[in-house]
Amino acid sequence: MSGRIPIQVTVNGRARAFEVAAHHTLLEVLRDDLQLTGTKECCLVGECGACTVRLDGRIVDSCLVLAVEADGGEVTTVEGLASDGRLSRLQGAFLDEGAVQCGFCIPGQIVAADDLLRRVARPTVGEIQEGLAGNLCRCACYGQITAAVAAAAAAEAGAR
């Protein structure tokens, strides 16, 4: 197929149908075609994690995924994490722990942290650091980000 390829993707819970160029990445399509600018562009080589999204139940660097590969799949971006305008427990924890400075890496961090907490209910510090090792923060909030994920996990456990 060349030219514009029709695809169907569920984005943040909403079924969408649109056309993409074969060589456009999922990151480009999310930002430029769907105006979901929460997911960021930085290194474009899968190193920094600023473009992290959830695709079919797993986090990926969307700069390394062609949009067409998401056809028939489910994508969740940072915009899809808060429901009805209320922050998720994780998002609140990021604010409470001071884990946000310039904020540019934060969408990727939160999507990666959200994924970690779905897989591991009470991750250790080491598991958090490993789980988020693919998300660079130049402001270097790593300590606070780790604390935020741990706090969110504890709060989640306490709530059950």
Partner 1 sequence: MSAGMSAAAGAAPGAAPGTATGTATGSGRVGDSPRRVGGHDRVTGLQRYVADLHLPDELHARLVTVPVARARIVTIDASAAERVPGFRFVMTAADLPQPMPRFGPQFRDRPVIAVGETKYHGDPVAAVAADTRDAAEEAAGLVRVDYEELPAAFTVAAALDPAAPLVQDPSLRPNDPLVGTNVLREHRVGWGDVEAAVADLVVEQRYTFPMVTHFAIEPHAYIVAPDGDGIAVWSSIQHPNWLQKVLAELLRLPLSKVRVHSPDPGGGFGGKQHTKYEPLVAFMALRAGRPVRLVLTLEETFQAVRRAAAEVRVRTGFQSDGTLAFQDIEANYLIGAYADIADRVVGKGSYPGCGPYRVPAARILARSVLSHTVPSTAFRGFGNPQVNWAVESNLDEGARALGIDRLELRLRNLARPGEAFIPFDTPCDGQWEQSVRRAAELIGWGRPLPAGHGLGIAVGIKSGPTTGLSYATVRLLVDGSVIVFAGTSDMGQGARTVFAQIAADELGAPLDAVTVVMGDTAIVPYDQQTSASRSTVLMGNAVLAACREIQGKLRAMAARLHGLDEATVMVDRGVVRLPERELTILEVLVPGLGRLGGELIGNGEMRKDAEPDHPLGGSAAFFEFNCTAVEAAVDEETGDVTLVHYATVSDVGKAINPLQVRMQDEGAAIQGLGHTLMEHYIFDESGRIRNLGAIDYRIPTSLDLPLEIVSEHVENEDGPGPYGSKGMSEGALLCVASAVGAAVRDATGVAIRDLPLTPERVWRALQERP
Partner 2 sequence: MHPFSYERPATLARAVALLEAHGPEARVLAGGTDLIIRLRDGSLAPTVVVDLKRIAELEPGIREADGRLVIGATTVMTDIAADARIRRRFEALAEAAAVVGSVQIRNRATLGGNICNASPAADTAPALLVHGAVVVIAGPSGSRRIPIDGWFVRSGVTTLGRGELVTAIELPLPAAPMGSVHLRRTRRRGHDLASVTLCCGVDASGVTRLAYGSVGPRPVLAVDATGVLADRDAAPEARTGLLERMLAEATPSARSMRASPDYRLAMLRVLARRGVDIATARLAAAEGRR
Spatial separation of the C-alpha atoms in residues 62 and 11, rounded to whole Å:
13
- Nearest-5° Cα angle at 10, 121 to 89: 30
Binding to partner 2 in span 67-126, by CB under 8 A: 68-69, 112, 115-116
CB of 18 to partner 2, least distance (A): 16
- Binding residue for partner 2 (CB under 8 A) from 33, 42, 46, 156? 46
**CB contact at 8 A, 30 and 50:** no
Of 54-62, 74-82, 83-91, 148-156, the segment contacting partner 2 by CB under 8 A is 54-62
Tokens of residue 154, six digits: 């504890």
22 binds partner 2 (CB under 8 A): yes
To partner 1, the closest distance from the beta carbon of 72 in angstroms equals 24
Q: What gap in Å lies between CA 139 and CA 127, rounded to an integer?
A: 21
Residues 120-139 that bind partner 1 (CB under 8 A): 128-130, 132-133, 135-139
Longest Cα separation, the chain: 52
Which of 96, 127, 155, 156 binds partner 1 (CB under 8 A)? It is 96
Which residues, 6 or more positions from 109, have their beta carbon under 8 angstroms from its beta carbon?
49, 52, 94, 99, 132, 135, 137, 145
Would you count residue 30 as binding partner 1 (CB under 8 A)? no
| Residue 139 interacts with partner 2 (CB under 8 A): yes or no | no
